[in-house]
Structure 1
Amino acid sequence: MADSWVNSAQRAGSDLHLDLSGPGSRRAVLIRALRDAVREGRLPPGTRLPAYRSLAADLGLARNTVADAYAELVAEGWLAARQGSGTRVAERALPPRSVRRSPTAPVRPAAPAYDLRQGTPETASFPRTGWLTSARRALNTAPDDAFGPGDPRGRIELRRALSDYLTRARGVRVTPERIVVCSGFAHALRLLFGGTAGGGAGPLRGPVGVEAYGLPFHRGILEGSGARTVPLDLDEGGARIEQLAGEPRVRGVLLTPAHQFPTGGPLAAVRRAAVIDWARANDALVLEDDYDGEFRYDRVPVGALQGLDPERVVHLGSVSKSLSPAVRLGWMVLPAHLVDGVLAAKGEREAWASVPDQLTLADFIESGRYDRHVRRMRQRYRHRRDQLVTALADRAPHVTATGIAAGLHAVLRLPPGTEASVVKAASWQGLAVDGLSAFRHPGAVMPGADGLVVGYSAPSERAYGAAVDALIGCLPPSDAVPEGLPR
């Protein structure tokens, strides 16, 4: 290999000199030479580099070698690649000067400039005025006994409001007596499997079927309570329910049937019926995580699975997506035979949700403010989803967004082998985003896929456009897909 190279003025990109001497593989030497050129200022920010095919031809290297070098430098933040504008030197700020710290003082990581992680609604849109109105009215009209020891099921005002709302909006078959108020979905799992202190004190036992992709946090709660999790493969119809037949010890399965998390899409109708048949035949239970059932855009509403058999399905919901995770309120709609066991696991007083918040939410629902807020946010999130899809179509058409008919996130399918470098590049550029592999069950046997789970609900309206621009800038260009791999 030659010791140096100067590209021809006829080639795409700017003239530059690269020192290709020194030890290492051809890829490592090329990466080092490009880093040095950027570090020394010979390649200033914004400089367009030659297309990797041209550079490969001039250097006598394999195109994959140059493509891999470009991809690594994009991941490290030295370069930026955008569809239609080639690969350029990134607009990198100088690193901040180091600050002397006490050796025992922890260093808190800097907050990301843009947050496209899933799971959080837009905090700036919390309905403060309506919530305050409901809080005032709820406190002014609350009976005196609301401020003393109460019902561990939760306040009857909230259970009645939830019963009416869930019946009307989600097709749940419920009475207030079947509802137990909790502090959110994670609290519900702990009550069902581990009690408030963990250790398997809840009414449910044994292995639990889970979807091959889901929240590791939820799997951790189950496994921490002694419940082994058994992954079920996923396809376009949702969880492969037939695989439960091969797990005779499983007596419970946790599903996201309205909108599979995180891959998207509802559980197919035939599989909804099949999981109910399985539960009846095996004296088993289905745990239905209805985490974002209110937010759908391009499809008819998918009703709750619980409506098919209230004695075999535990319906679990909260306001963490529809209002805010700071409002620590959720609910369980339980089969009759589970109510006493859950209340025993809940214990006396300590695990109860705030009564003033329960009364406020009850009024917020009954006044119609909750419905109006959900409709308003549904339109806002749909507009954001459309912005994301349009930006991808215009500037990165080789990246496909899936799971976009409902919910607050999309999955961006990436070329094989690129997920880790894209997540790394995004982090370097101050963009927080999750890789799809982070949600994969460690015991899953179905083929994996590279992708990003992109939440479009968290940024403010003002910041969302810039967040999408930053995301597009971190995606691999179409011509950087290694040869021989599908595009």
Structure 2
Amino acid sequence: MPEHWASWDLHVELGAEGGRRRRLEDALREAVRAGRLSPGARLPSTRGLAHQLGLARGTVSAAYDQLAEEGYLTIRAGSGTTVADIPQPAPASAGRPATPATPRHDLRPGLPDISAFPTRAWLAATRRVLGAARPEVFGAGDPQGRVELRTALAGYLGRTRGVVAGPERIVIVSGYYQGLSLLSGVLAAAGTRTVAVEDPGHNLFRDAVRRAGLTTLPLPVDHHGAQVDALTPDTGAAFLTPTHQYPTGVPLHARRRQALSAWARATGAVIVEDDYDGEYRYDRQPVGALQGTAPDHVVYCGTASKTLGPALRLAWMVLPPRLALPVVRAKQAADLYTETLGQLVLADLITSHAYDRHIRAARLRYRRRRHLLLDRVAALPGLTAHGVPAGLHTLVTLDPSGSSTEDRLLAACARQGVALRGLTELHHDAAGRPQGVLVGFAAPAERAYPAALDALTTALAGACGS
């Protein structure tokens, strides 16, 4: 029997009753029944297991033979001993969250085309990182994030988004949601009580702010973005999406940007800029980040979720100096640090400009998809598309004088296997507010997008009675 089989470890707890062979049989039988030894799992050789447990090899051989006769194990000459494929009891479902069904056509907003993940570039960067890695790379990480990534981001954000930042002002977090939660806690601990959030805005993020103990002031949004004149002197922070407002898709008007910066300087308040999809503008150069106009009062937040994929859990915050250390301490208290190797690989992608190339290619694909979506919506009565040519979604609202409703649209889409998102849940108070849906155009793979558009068009046409 090959020697490496004898090196496998197998945890077996022998009972106190009966002889050694019987106790071994009972322990193995129970492990198979309980699923701790799964079908197809290879067991150690008789010599190896006998050595591990301090038993005679003949005892182990006899136990294996007995369990093979009972159907628990399969013994094949030259192939070793494996666990047989026997029916397992159904796992208890009580208390377990339901696994969401995968939609046939995923048109949810804010999701990139993960089938276009730059696998080759990521692998090449990973090889370079591992080839040059010092031993300390595999030790405990820095709560602020790897200096390689912070340095790369400082250059990249300054070059592409107009952000004013050095590596010492950047903190790497495990997704924007974590960064938002950490910052909200820091603001609350410093005495902030009321913060402004856009209305409509992302309800998940609004809830995260509230969980930190902050009271939210709704900031109405119109065709020029958030109405910043509604901000009050006692508002400690404003959470905004100024480049591409979520969900309406409008940018914050230049005069309102100036007024917002002036308000922050006059009151000492903080502006939290969520630049969630700022790389994607399709009719011109992307609008620069607000942070560049007031770097000592703006917290700039960016993420790789929309450019590469949400599974990476990589995001960053560019903080005013007074907030950098408190946020680093909050990050350390939350989960010590963000996974290190992914940070180093992303840093390599940025410095080698592979990240830029990937974004440019994605921008071309998403621009074509958006045009196709708008053509379909324009052909349907009672629907209006909103927002500048940017981002990963389009807001489609219903004619308030028509007979259709948001619930009817969502139900029709569900019947066609189309997943998207309703508008009303994003308002602080949905009563009397516009109804509609947010349609993402990035998530489907390239070859799947036409079918997704067909299904969407069928659903919307049926719901609108056309």
In structure 1, distance between residues paired with 2:92 and 2:126: 47
Which residue does the alignment assign to 2:133? 142
Which residue does the alignment assign to 1:322? 307
In structure 2, distance between residues paired with 1:126 and 1:204: 42
> Are the counterparts in 2 of residues 295 and 406 from structure 1 also a CA contact under 8 Å?
yes
Residue 407 of structure 1 and its aligned partner are, at CA, apart by 0.3
Aligned residue among 415, 432, 439 for 1:428: 415
- Assess, with a 3 A threshold, how the Cα gap between structure 1 residues 326 and 441 changes in structure 2: closer, same or farther: same
Residue 102 of structure 1 and its aligned partner are, at CA, apart by 9.4
In structure 1, distance between residues paired with 2:348 and 2:92: 51
Residue 203 of structure 1 and its aligned partner are, at CA, apart by 5.0
> Are the counterparts in 2 of residues 118 and 454 from structure 1 also a CA contact under 8 Å?
yes
Q: What SS does structure 2 have at the residue aligned with 1:465?
A: helix
> Are the counterparts in 1 of residues 412 and 463 from structure 2 also a CA contact under 8 Å?
no
Which residue does the alignment assign to 1:263? 248
> Does 1:283 find its partner at 2:268?
yes
Aligned residue among 425, 437, 442 for 1:452: 437
> Does 1:341 find its partner at 2:326?
yes
Which residue does the alignment assign to 1:90? none
The one-character-per-residue Cα deviations of 1:259-288 (angstroms, maximum 9, x if unpaired) are: 000101110000001011111111100000
The one-character-per-residue Cα deviations of 1:404-447 (angstroms, maximum 9, x if unpaired) are: 410000011212251111111111221111111121123x78x5
What amino acid does structure 2 have at the position aligned with 1:236?
A: H
Percent identity between matched residues is 47
Which structure shows the bigger proportion of residues in helix conformation? Answer: 2
Give every structure 1 segment of 4 or more consecutive aligned residues whose post-TM-superposition deviation is greater than 6 Å. none
Q: What SS does structure 1 have at the residue aligned with 2:197?
A: strand
> Does 1:464 find its partner at 2:449?
yes
What amino acid does structure 1 have at the position aligned with 2:216?
A: T
What amino acid does structure 2 have at the position aligned with 1:231?
A: P
The one-character-per-residue Cα deviations of 1:352-384 (angstroms, maximum 9, x if unpaired) are: 111111110000100010000000000000011
Which residue does the alignment assign to 2:54? none
TM-score normalised by structure 1 residue count: 0.72
> Does 1:473 find its partner at 2:464?
no
> Are the counterparts in 2 of residues 206 and 251 from structure 1 also a CA contact under 8 Å?
yes
Which residue does the alignment assign to 1:68? none
> Are the counterparts in 2 of residues 418 and 450 from structure 1 also a CA contact under 8 Å?
yes
What amino acid does structure 2 have at the position aligned with 1:144?
A: P
> Does 1:151 find its partner at 2:138?
no
What amino acid does structure 2 have at the position aligned with 1:224?
A: R
Aligned residue among 184, 190, 196 for 2:181: 190
In structure 2, distance between residues paired with 1:430 and 1:350: 38
Which residue does the alignment assign to 2:393? 409
The one-character-per-residue Cα deviations of 1:316-354 (angstroms, maximum 9, x if unpaired) are: 111000110011111110101111111221226834111
- Assess, with a 3 A threshold, how the Cα gap between structure 1 residues 125 and 204 changes in structure 2: closer, same or farther: farther
Q: What SS does structure 1 have at the residue aligned with 2:140?
A: coil
- Assess, with a 3 A threshold, how the Cα gap between structure 1 residues 333 and 479 changes in structure 2: closer, same or farther: closer
In structure 1, distance between residues paired with 2:272 and 2:101: 37
Q: Provide structure 2 residue ranges, at least 5 long, that are not aligned to the other structure.
A: 1-89
> Are the counterparts in 2 of residues 418 and 476 from structure 1 also a CA contact under 8 Å?
no
In structure 2, distance between residues paired with 1:219 and 1:110: 26
| Stretch of structure 1 that moved more, 101-110 or 129-138 | 101-110
Which residue does the alignment assign to 1:292? 277
> Does 1:301 find its partner at 2:286?
yes
Bigger Rg, structure 1 or 2: 2
The one-character-per-residue Cα deviations of 1:163-204 (angstroms, maximum 9, x if unpaired) are: 000000000011111111111111111211236xxxx87557
In structure 2, distance between residues paired with 1:224 and 1:377: 35
The one-character-per-residue Cα deviations of 1:64-103 (angstroms, maximum 9, x if unpaired) are: xxxxxxxxxxxxxxxxxxxxxxxxxxxxxxxxxxxxx999
The one-character-per-residue Cα deviations of 1:371-405 (angstroms, maximum 9, x if unpaired) are: 00000000000011011112223x41542211141
What do you get for the CA RMSD once the two structures are aligned? 2.2
> Are the counterparts in 2 of residues 437 and 451 from structure 1 also a CA contact under 8 Å?
yes
> Are the counterparts in 2 of residues 190 and 202 from structure 1 also a CA contact under 8 Å?
no
> Are the counterparts in 2 of residues 202 and 345 from structure 1 also a CA contact under 8 Å?
no
> Does 1:441 find its partner at 2:428?
yes
Paired residues, what number?
Answer: 372
Residue 477 of structure 1 and its aligned partner are, at CA, apart by 6.2
In structure 2, distance between residues paired with 1:189 and 1:111: 28
Q: Provide structure 1 residue ranges, at least 5 long, that are not aligned to the other structure.
A: 1-100, 482-487
Residue 108 of structure 1 and its aligned partner are, at CA, apart by 5.0
- Assess, with a 3 A threshold, how the Cα gap between structure 1 residues 448 and 421 changes in structure 2: closer, same or farther: same
> Are the counterparts in 2 of residues 192 and 204 from structure 1 also a CA contact under 8 Å?
no
Which residue does the alignment assign to 1:126? 117
- Assess, with a 3 A threshold, how the Cα gap between structure 1 residues 169 and 470 changes in structure 2: closer, same or farther: same
